[in-house]
């Protein structure tokens, strides 16, 4: 989802002064949920003057938008907004252009031997996380989840993990930051250059596909469905980037949430079933907060008229805390049922890697429970400065 999110609409002034929601202010970065409540209390379909967009904080409204790509598209060209060629991908095209890419993606996912991947990831997580737990105190994100999710996505693709030198980290930071380029237009250029760098990596994989992973299948089937090569490369880049960045932010949020809600942590260590716990952690701490869509026809949403050409931002992070959809929304109930969260999106662009994201979370929670690892904070968590993909850069923890 890391390409659609760049489409925060541009704003005129550098300093946002909306009284209810300033997405990158220090307070909102630290905890966006009070701002979501303020907006929802004011209007579930909230016009944000400076973002020049409708901001949706209700579950029903977010879901309606994500499910209807006729009225609300990810392809902003449908309302006359140009998309740089580097951003034309699975994530930014709507049906019917999106359909062959989506089919190729789904077919690729079906070739994966997920139980074997889970077993392999379980082995490496047990070793790495086990070693860190033995050490007593460590940074869950920097020492573990960033590394683990890169190991997972490269295993899925069947490629060797890239060298994570200073250049890699800088480019990745620039790509991440550009997801908020609508809030700060200067972030866009470096983000596009970073994407081109990652594209070169993807092209090198496709030119000489290693055996046994998703890249081999994609290289063999790349001619199918008439997908343009450049768009395919952009899509694989988006898949790769989403594949390490999003789950690492999720795992950090999940562990931080468990530490802050000791009753849930205790329930997990006392044998609460892991699969529903993963769903609840995605609802509660899913890192993807904002998905932009272009309204392609005059319509209404929750009774509010929306005009063709306007932009709506489905704040799924807010929708997943909407009390109309989730009783007691700010508390983790690991056995919540039903749990119709939007953390993996909905509709034609819903997460292609959700099985992999869930599998990674299962593996990590299983290691923590098998080691009876009651954790506590061992310092202040450091938040990444992103309004789109909310998560932690550092999460210092220790055994309680
Ligand atoms: C817990 C982890 C994850 C979360 C919370 C998550 C969340 C999301 C969300 C909300 C979307 C919808 C974007 C939209 O509607 O515009 C999405 C799409 C996507 N995700 Fe994930 N994701 C996760 C893990 C992954 C992984 C591991 C991969 C790759 C293996 C992946 C690949 C993708 C791709 C390619 C799309 C775009 C699909 C399309 O546009 O057709 N995600 N994800």
d(CA 173, CA 182): 16
- Closest ligand 1 atom to 4 CA: 16
pLDDT of res. 10: 52
DSSP 210: P
pLDDT of res. 13: 46
Its domain, for residue 173, covers 4-399
CB 381 within 8 A of CB 30: no
Q: Residue for token digits 């994989």?
A: 205
Q: What is the pLDDT along the chain (400 residues), one digit of tens a residue?
A: 566 554 555 544 445 568 899 998 899 999 999 999 999 999 999 999 888 999 999 999 999 999 999 999 999 999 999 999 999 999 999 999 999 999 999 999 999 999 999 999 999 999 999 999 999 999 999 999 999 999 999 999 999 999 999 999 999 999 988 888 766 778 888 999 999 999 999 999 999 999 999 999 999 999 888 899 999 999 999 999 999 999 999 999 999 999 999 999 999 999 999 999 999 999 999 999 999 999 999 999 999 999 999 999 999 999 999 999 999 999 999 999 999 999 999 999 999 999 999 999 999 999 999 999 999 999 999 999 888 999 999 999 999 9
- Closest ligand 1 atom to 282 CA: 5
d(CA 29, CA 352): 27
Give the residue among 178, 235, 248 at the shortest CA–CA distance from 388.
178
d(CA 98, CA 92): 8
pLDDT of res. 12: 46
Expressed in angstroms and rounded, the spacing between residue 378 Cα and the centre of ligand 1 is 31
CATH number of the domain where residue 200 is located: 1.10.630.10
- Closest ligand 1 atom to 244 CA: 27
**Ligand 1 atom 42: residue of nearest CA:** 353
**Ligand 1 atom 9: residue of nearest CA:** 344
Q: How many domains is the chain partitioned into structurally?
A: 1
**Ligand 1 atom 17: residue of nearest CA:** 351
User: How big is the CA angle at 213 (ends 360 and 274), to the nearest 5 degrees?
Assistant: 15
pLDDT of res. 369: 98
Q: What three-state secondary structure class fits 188?
A: helix
């Amino acid at each position: 989802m890391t390409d659609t999110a760049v489409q925060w609409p541009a704003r005129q002034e550098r300093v946002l002064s909306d009284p209810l929601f300033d997405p990158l202010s220090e307070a909102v970065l630290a905890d966006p949920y009070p701002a979501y409540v303020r907006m929802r209390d004011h209007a579930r379909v909230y016009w944000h003057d400076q973002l020049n967009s409708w901001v949706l904080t209700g579950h029903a409204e977010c879901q309606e938008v994500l499910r209807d790509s006729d009225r609300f598209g990810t392809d902003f060209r449908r309302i006359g907004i140009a998309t740089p060629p580097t951003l034309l991908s699975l994530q930014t095209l709507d049906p019917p252009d999106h359909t062959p890419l989506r089919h190729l993606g789904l077919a690729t996912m079906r070739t994966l031997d997920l139980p074997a991947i889970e077993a392999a990831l379980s082995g490496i997580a047990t070793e790495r996380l086990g070693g860190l737990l033995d050490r007593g105190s460590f940074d869950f994100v920097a020492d573990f989840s960033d590394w683990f999710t890169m190991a997972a996505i490269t295993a899925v693709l069947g490629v060797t993990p890239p060298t994570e030198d200073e250049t890699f980290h800088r480019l990745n930071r620039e790509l991440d930051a550009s997801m908020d380029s609508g809030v700060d237009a200067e972030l866009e250029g470096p983000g596009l250059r970073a994407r081109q760098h990652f594209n070169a990596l993807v092209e090198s994989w496709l030119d000489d596909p290693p055996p046994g992973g998703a890249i081999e299948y994609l290289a063999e089937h790349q001619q199918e469905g008439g997908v343009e090569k450049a768009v395919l490369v952009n899509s694989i880049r988006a898949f790769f980037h989403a594949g390490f960045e999003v789950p690492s932010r999720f795992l950090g949020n999940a562990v931080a949430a468990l530490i802050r809600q000791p009753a849930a942590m205790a329930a997990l260590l006392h044998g609460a079933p892991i699969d529903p716990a993963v769903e609840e952690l995605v609802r509660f701490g899913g890192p993807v907060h904002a998905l932009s869509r272009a309204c392609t026809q005059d319509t209404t949403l929750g009774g509010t008229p929306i005009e063709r050409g306007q932009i709506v931002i489905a704040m799924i992070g807010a929708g997943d805390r909407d009390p109309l959809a989730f009783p007691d929304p700010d508390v983790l109930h690991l056995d919540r049922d039903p749990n119709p969260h939007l953390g993996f999106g909905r509709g034609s662009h819903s997460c292609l890697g959700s099985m992999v994201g869930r599998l990674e979370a299962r593996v990590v929670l299983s290691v923590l429970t098998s080691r009876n690892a009651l954790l506590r904070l061992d310092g202040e968590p450091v938040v990444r400065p992103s309004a789109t993909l909310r998560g932690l850069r550092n999460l210092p923890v220790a055994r309680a």
